[in-house]
Amino acid sequence: MKYISTRGNYGRVDSAEAIRLGMVPKGGLFVPEIVPELSLKEILSFKDFDYRQLAARILQEFLTDFTEEEIWQCVEAAYNAENFAAPDIAPLKKLDENTYILELWHGPTAAFKDMALQLMPHLLTRAIEKGDIDKEVVILVATSGDTGKAALEGFKDVDGVRIIVFYPEEGVSKIQEAQMVTTGGYNTEVVAVKGNFDDCQNSVKSVFGDRKFNQKINNNGFRFSSANSINWGRLVPQIIYYFKAYLDLVNRGEIEGGEEINVTVPTGNFGNILAGYYASRMGLPVKKFICASNENKILTDFINTGKYDLEREFRRTISPSMDILISSNLERFLFSVTGQDHKKINKWYAELRNNGKFVVDKTTAGEIAEIFSGRFATEGDTKETIKDIYEEYAYTIDPHTAVGVSAYRKYCKETKDLTKTVIDSTASPFKFGRAVLSALKGKKIGGDDFEVLRQLEAETGENAHRALSDLEERPVRHERACSSRDIRDEIRDILEIN
Ligand SMILES: *Cc1c(COP(=O)(O)O)cnc(C)c1O
């Protein structure tokens, strides 16, 4: 299995090299040249596998340059009881006759990024060992909150790798910030960047693309890599839980083997939903993906009109991990639905860079509409959904998950499509406790974040996720801050380069 660039500007590489590089050096993203296909019979033959066995089986399809043993070591180091507070890693909860919630937040940081970031650092260290690299790898991460902590947890104390996380000063919750700045590990650094997530992500991206700066870094014995969801090593682990959810439904007699399901994903950078799409391309029976956005509904508009248009106000919402206007992984999806037409990708992304928008052709728009449906939730919808679900089912959901549920409900109302649906739940409600409690009570909630956490525990009778309950006592270990323009200086300072 080889990997190619969405922009047609790089040679074919194996998966270890794609994971080492993170992003294609001249711009563009690595994608599998051919998505492996599994027959239904084969998929159903996995139904007695536990999460680790299933993970190893799926990874083996994509990481053909890794040995079975290497894959198994990575999987065992990631998906175990120490890291995940649920025995089956990603439990599927039945909400009602048609709706199932896939809880992806039982990992060490209480959000779904752990599903990939507990595994990815192990894949990366194996990938580094396979290459002849004499440089220390420096992982740069731009985070809207959850990725940062998940990456820090995944990489801390992993030898031969350093990690520097940049987060937008105004774009993350107090709890997210506390999680990051209290991280231990000898190889971790955290920097607050002035501005919003797009500013932060763009400046980190520009560092990757800055040849002169990279040369300087290389000369000093370092090499950059990324753990953002553009790294193939982040995407591939996310394919696993779509198979897990489907097989759970079959095993519990909720669906027949082979029956199509729908999948709803609260979406930001388009990584999670793209992994689901790859699962369907592999043969998993999925009828529709419902792409759920918050008020930053650029993807809803794109799916409905074929026009991707950045000219709009950036909004800060109670689902901050989805406050994103540039959904990086969309490029991979477009490459796939155009039959790997890198000319089109280059044209559209040049238009996006130059004019802030692009419009796909009718055929492509049709292909997209065939498999995707876009819906969005307003802030009001999101709060109402948290309250409704709590009142109807005594089940507490976080604002990101609520965006998904709200979008799904709109979809059902408009299409009358009653296909059984898995909704990805991407964060523990306690991670966004203030917004959740405020939605439940119908009023603003004062007090500090940790006080709110205890109030939410009292209100719901549930215990906060173990990753959050002892945060308050941990000492702050990181106090760096800079403007997005000064990121290079900050990196030099951290790596002690003149
Ligand atoms: C990252 C994140 C999302 C968005 O996922 P993408 O893969 O970026 O689309 C949604 N919810 C939460 C809680 C997240 O952390």
Residue located nearest, by CA, to atom 8 of ligand 1: 269
Rounded to whole angstroms, how far apart are CA atoms 218 and 322? 34
Distance CA 20, CA 224 (A): 9
CA of 265 to the centre of ligand 1 (A): 9
**Of the candidates 406, 412, 409, which has an alpha carbon nearest to the alpha carbon of residue 379?**
406
The reply to whether ligand 1 has any atom less than 6 angstroms from the CB of 266 is yes
Question: Rounded distance, CA 467 to CA 453, Å?
Answer: 12
The predicted pLDDT at position 330 comes to 97
**Token pair belonging to 134:** 């004499």
pLDDT at 472: 84
Determine if ligand 1 sits within 6 Å of the CB of residue 317: no
386 three-class SS: helix
338 SS3 class: coil
Q: Is the dihedral of CA 403, 407, 412, 418 positive or negative?
A: negative
Q: Is 267 in the pocket of ligand 1 (CB under 6 A)?
A: yes
Q: Name the residue at shortest CA distance from atom 14 of ligand 1.
A: 321
Q: Which atom of ligand 1 is nearest to the CA of 266?
A: 10
Predicted pLDDT of residue 456: 96
Q: Which of 102, 112, 143, 290 to mutate to test the pocket of ligand 1 (most atoms within 8 A of CB)?
A: 112
Amino acid at 274: L
For ligand 1, the distance from its centroid to the CA atom of residue 262, given in whole angstroms, is: 19
Q: Distance between CA 10 and CA 7 in Å, rounded?
A: 8
Determine whether the shortest distance from the Cβ of 400 to ligand 1 is under 6 A.
yes
Q: Identify which of 104, 296, 321 to mutate to test ligand 1's pocket (most ligand atoms within 8 A of the CB).
A: 321
- The C-alpha R_g of the chain, in whole angstroms, comes to 21
Whether the CB of 277 sits within 6 Å of ligand 1: no
Distance, first Cα to last Cα, the chain:
41
pLDDT for position 400: 98
**CA 437 to ligand 1 center in whole angstroms:** 21
CA of 389 to the centre of ligand 1 (A): 20
Which amino acid is it at 426? T
Q: Is the CB of 337 under 6 A from ligand 1?
A: no
Q: How far is the CA of 266 from the centre of ligand 1 (A)?
A: 7
Neighbours of 74 (CB within 10 A): 26
Going 154 to 158 to 160 to 165, the CA torsion angle's sign is: positive
- Ligand 1 within 6 A of 197 CB? no
Which atom of ligand 1 is closest in space to residue 401's alpha carbon?
A: 11
pLDDT of residue 158: 81
Q: Which pLDDT does position 436 carry in this prediction?
A: 97
User: At which residue do the structure tokens 């799409």 appear?
Assistant: 277
Is the CB of 5 within 6 Å of ligand 1? Answer: no
CA-CA-CA-CA torsion sign (109, 113, 117, 119): positive
Q: Would you write out the chain's pLDDT as a tens digit for each of its 498 residues?
A: 999 999 999 999 999 999 988 889 888 999 999 999 999 999 999 999 999 999 999 999 999 999 999 999 999 999 999 999 999 999 999 999 999 999 999 998 999 999 999 999 999 989 988 887 788 999 999 987 778 898 999 998 887 899 999 999 888 878 889 999 999 999 999 999 998 888 898 999 899 889 999 999 999 999 988 877 789 999 999 999 999 999 999 999 999 999 999 999 999 999 999 999 999 999 999 999 999 999 999 999 999 999 999 999 999 999 988 998 989 999 999 999 999 999 999 999 999 999 999 999 999 999 999 999 999 999 999 999 999 999 999 999 999 999 999 999 999 999 999 999 999 999 999 989 999 999 999 999 998 888 999 999 999 999 998 888 888 889 999 999 999 999 999 999 999 998
Q: Which helix (H) or strand (E) holds 183?
A: none
* Among 400, 403, 465, residue to substitute to test ligand 1 (most atoms within 8 Å of Cβ): 400
Residues taking part in catalysis: 113
Mapped onto helix, strand or coil, the DSSP state of residue 161 is strand
List the one residue out of 128, 134, 201, 113 whose CA is nearest residue 165.
Answer: 201
Q: What pLDDT, on the 0 to 100 scale, is given for residue 416?
A: 97
pLDDT at 174: 82
HEC letters along the chain: CCEEECCCCCCCECHHHHHHHCCCCCCCCEEECCCCCCCHHHHHCCCCCCHHHHHHHHHHHHCCCCCHHHHHHHHHHHCCCCCCCCCCCCCEEEEECCEEEEECCCCCCCECHHHHHCCHHHHHHHHHHHCCCCCEEEEEEECCCHHHHHHHHHHCCCCCEEEEEEEECCCCCHHHHHHHHCCCCCCEEEEEECCCHHHHHHHHHHHHCCHHHHHHHHHCCEEEEECCCCCHHHHHHHHHHHHHHHHHHHHCCCCCCCCCEEEEEECCCCHHHHHHHHHHHHCCCEEEEEEEECCCCHHHHHHHHCEEECCCCCCCCCCHHHCCCCCCCHHHHHHHHCCCCHHHHHHHHHHHHHHCEEECCHHHHHHHHHHEEEEECCHHHHHHHHHHHHHHHCCCCCHHHHHHHHHHHHHHHHHCCCCCEEEEECECHHHHHHHHHHHHHCCCCCCCHHHHHHHHHHHHCCCCCHHHHCHHHCCCCCCEEECHHHHHHHHHHHHCCC
The answer to whether the CB of 284 falls within 8 A of the CB of 242 is yes
Q: Is 117 in the pocket of ligand 1 (CB under 6 A)?
A: no
Distance 269 CA to ligand 1 centre (A): 7
Does residue 111 have its Cβ closer than 6 Å to ligand 1? yes
- Between CA 297 and CA 330 the distance in angstroms is 14
